[in-house]
Amino acid sequence: MGAIHIHGGIPLQGQVMIQGSKNAALPILAASILTKGSNLFSGCPRIADVEQMQMLLRSLGCVVRWEGDKMRVDAHRVCSGSMPREAVTGMRSSLTLLGAMLGRCGQIFLEQPGGCVIGSRPINLHIDALEKMNVKFARGDSILYACTEGLKGAEIHLACPSVGATENIILAAVLADGCTVIHNAAAEPEIVALCAYLNVCGAHIEGAGTACIRIEGVKELTGSAFEIPADRIVAGTYLFACLAAGGSVFLERAPVKEMKAVLEVARALGAGLQCTGTGLYVQAPNTVKSVPCVRTAVYPGFPTDLQSPLLAVLAGGMGKSIVEERIFEDRFRVVPELLRMGAKIRVEEDKTAYVEGQECLRGARVTAGELRGGAALVVAGLGASGETIVEGKKYIDRGYENICRDLRELGARIYSV
Ligand code: UD1
The CATH number given to whatever domain includes residue 312 is 3.65.10.10
* Residues of the chain above pLDDT 90, percent: 89
Domain span including residue 106? 22-227
> Which residue out of 162, 168, 192, 308 has the highest number of ligand 1 atoms within 8 Å of its CB and is therefore the one to mutate?
162
- Residue nearest atom 31 of ligand 1, based on CA coordinates: 162
Tell whether 7 and 107 lie within a shared domain: no
Which of 227, 258, 276 terminates a domain? The answer is 227
Residue 115 is predicted with a pLDDT of 57
Tell whether 346 and 406 lie within a shared domain: yes
What global pTM score does this model have? 0.97
pLDDT digits (tens, 9 = 90+) for 190-249: 999 999 999 999 999 999 999 999 999 999 999 999 999 999 999 999 999 999 999 999
Residue 26 is predicted with a pLDDT of 97
Residue 293 annotated as catalytic: no
Residue 94 has pLDDT above 90, yes or no: no
Residue 227 is predicted with a pLDDT of 98
C-alpha distance across the termini of the chain, in Å: 9
Tell whether 234 and 221 lie within a shared domain: no
Query: Structural domain tally of the chain?
Result: 2
Tell whether 66 and 162 lie within a shared domain: yes
Tell whether 206 and 319 lie within a shared domain: no
**Amino acid identity at 263:** L
Pick from 340, 412, 417, 356: nearest CA to 383:
412
Residue 114 is predicted with a pLDDT of 62
Tell whether 172 and 253 lie within a shared domain: no
Tell whether 218 and 235 lie within a shared domain: no
Residue 321 has pLDDT above 60, yes or no: yes
Tell whether 264 and 180 lie within a shared domain: no
Ligand 1 atom closest to Cα of residue 298: 14
Tell whether 163 and 221 lie within a shared domain: yes
Ligand 1 atom closest to Cα of residue 120: 26
Q: Which of 6-20, 92-106, 250-264 has the lowest mean pLDDT?
A: 92-106
Tell whether 236 and 294 lie within a shared domain: yes
Cα(6)–Cα(416) distance, integer angstroms: 9
